[in-house]
Amino acid sequence: MTQALEGIRVIDFTHDQAGPSCTQMLAWLGADVIKIENPKGGDRARRLWNSDNPELDSFFFLLLNSNKRSTVIDLKSADGKEIARRLIKEADVVAENLGPGVMDRLGLGWDAVKELNPRAVFASVKGFGSYGPYSGFKCFEPVAQATSGAMSVTGEAGGTPLVNGANIGDSGTGMHLAMAILAALVQRGRTGKGQLVEVAMQEAVLNLTRVKFTGTLATGEPLRRSGNRSPTGGYSDLIRCAPSKPEGGGVDDYIYIIVPPDNPEMFHAAMDVIGRPELKEDERFKTPAARAKNAAALTEVLESWTLSRNKHDVMKAFAGRGMVCGAVLDTAEVLQDPHLRERGTIVDLDHPTRGRFSTIISPLRLSDSPVTPRRAPLFGEHTEEVLRSLAGYTAEDVAALRRKGVVTQG
């Protein structure tokens, strides 16, 4: 069975997370993604968060670069630039998330790419975009959250702003870029021409945050942080549960429950589950407004039942009655979650240096394009293979380039 993007070739100049998360999605969908790395250690993600063994590729890198091929080229050398140009001529997509102006200084920016290959889609992640007052500024995940409004609505009521734990600035931008690339490829099918596609991290996070602007548009006032409580008038909160692990209580022994204002039957179901049907008519909880006003009291009622049961049993009991809820799973629990394992979202892969480890693969499900997960490449693992098959170099050419330090074979 073929994959959706089979036959699409991506020359990938990305690093860290925002760009690699995009090209990884394309690779999962079947594209041939050729990751270009520098000779001085390659993608810095190979060493990020690598506390257990600094000599090995980090799990951070492995989680973001599966299903790709690695080619190591010194792009600062004339020979390296020539290799890059040859590869670009064979590309459907050229992706980059280097600092502002870096690709242009290398002679590999959009203007150069469209000359070399008018059919290529040039895909770029920038912190604040390629124009505008902030365009020369660098951006990391928390900065994108701060400047988009996301951080201002995250945190406890009256407390300080908080960074969202999910990487909406990096991986969120990567997913937006993947959509833009796919749209450009569809348009190329009609016009025969590639184009420049760009996603700014600030704007991607703004897009993910946009519903939080509802109240501001109505009143002109900024939305304030509300912690785990609903800002929409319904009831929601973190509910404490009994310890779920034999060694005792943990920091994540909670379930999150939502009772939307327009679904009163969920409140009725909750009262039935905990054996307190008489509270359906309690004036403190009878209406959505009353439940929102008396949220602390309702949480106390729920916890009188949940504190004697673990979060997994509580989730099954409430969700089984049609309520919207979820146990707070820590990262170790997620990797062993039976639901994600059965769906093939969490799988185990073998790695030459890391051994067998658990990893996360594509959440996209295409009936005719199943994902076959492959481990992330070793540093320079595919250099000779790529240069010989795509760039027209002989084995002797590659050997000479290696002696000159232009390329590296893992």
CB 27 within 8 A of CB 51: no
Beta strands in 38-161 (DSSP E): 68-73, 93-96, 121-126
CA 10 vs. chain centroid, Å, equals 19
State the Cα–Cα distance between residues 257 and 204, nearest whole angstrom. 28
Q: Which residues does 376 contact at the CB level (< 8 Å), separation at least 6?
A: 57, 61, 62, 64, 65, 66, 68, 351
Nearest to 327 by CA among 275, 250, 392: 250
Radius of gyration of the chain (CA): 25
State the Cα–Cα distance between residues 327 and 313, nearest whole angstrom. 9
Helix (H, G, I), strand (E, B), or coil: what is residue 254? strand
Q: What angle do CA 197, 35, 382 make, to 5 degrees?
A: 150
Sign of the dihedral defined by the CA atoms of residues 283, 289, 295, 301, in that order: positive
CB 72 within 8 A of CB 379: yes
Name the region of 281 (left: φ>0; alpha: ψ -120 to 50; beta: rest). Answer: alpha
* Active-site residue list: 170
| Other residues' Cβ atoms within 10 Å of the Cβ of residue 356 | 8
